[in-house]
Amino acid sequence: MSSVPYRIRRSGRARHARITVGPDGVEVVVPQRFPMREVEPFVEEKRRWIERTLRRMRESELEVGRPALEDGGEVPYLGERLLLRVRIEPGRVRPHVKRRGPVLHAAAGEGPDALRDALERWYRKQARLEIEPRLHAAVSRGGTSYTGLQIRGQQTRWASCSSSGAMSFNWRLLLAPAEVLDYVVEHEVAHLEVPDHSDRFWDLLASRCPDYVEHERWLRRHGHALRF
């Protein structure tokens, strides 16, 4: 029997059983008519891969440094580590977060998610302030233009560029080093000229971001750790 804890989700769109390993644990996705008695043997068959993946994720989190959402803890910000100074104020409705140099001051109400929500709101605002000038500079260099900018919190996507030129970026990119954010911006701006991932796209991206392979690998290895 498998010693790996997991949850099961039936999906009407799944054609085969599959396993996903992420920050929230191990999930087994099975078709609607998949026999439940076959789930455990399926997990056991993949146990070594699951354990290896979980181990790599833990090592990655230690390397990056997970945010510590508490007074005296630290949170990452574009390659920096900001010291958190937290005040929990019962009855406070509107949280307040302000950065002073390397210190991030946060005042939030009670509740398990109050501080987390306050910090995410602040990071979302900062994401626009950090990304917009980078985006303007990148499209100026490329001689292109975009039609709009959205800051979102997607679970599995870092950014996107629609066929109309609308840009969307994940606020969690601010938890990565600045050069990784720069790469993602250049990646999406390149899509304004080449919408697919053909050789022409990668050649264009390489001309604008020569180290893109290194940054892409960093995101693939550490992206799961970029969250509160």
What's the mean pLDDT when you consider all of the chain? 94
Strand order in the sheet with 7-11: 7-11, 25-31, 18-22
Enumerate domains of the chain plus CATH numbers: 7-63 (no CATH), 74-225 (3.30.2010.10)
Q: Of 7-16, 60-69, 148-157, which gets the smallest average pLDDT? A: 60-69
The amino acid at residue 223 is G
pTM assigned to the model = 0.82
User: With contact defined as beta carbons under 8 Å apart, do 197 and 36 qualify?
Assistant: no
pLDDT at residue number 4: 82
- Of the pLDDT bands very low, low, confident and very high (cuts 50, 70, 90), residue 47 is very high
pLDDT at 1 over 70: no
pLDDT at residue number 2: 55
- Of the pLDDT bands very low, low, confident and very high (cuts 50, 70, 90), residue 112 is confident
User: With contact defined as beta carbons under 8 Å apart, do 159 and 168 qualify?
Assistant: yes
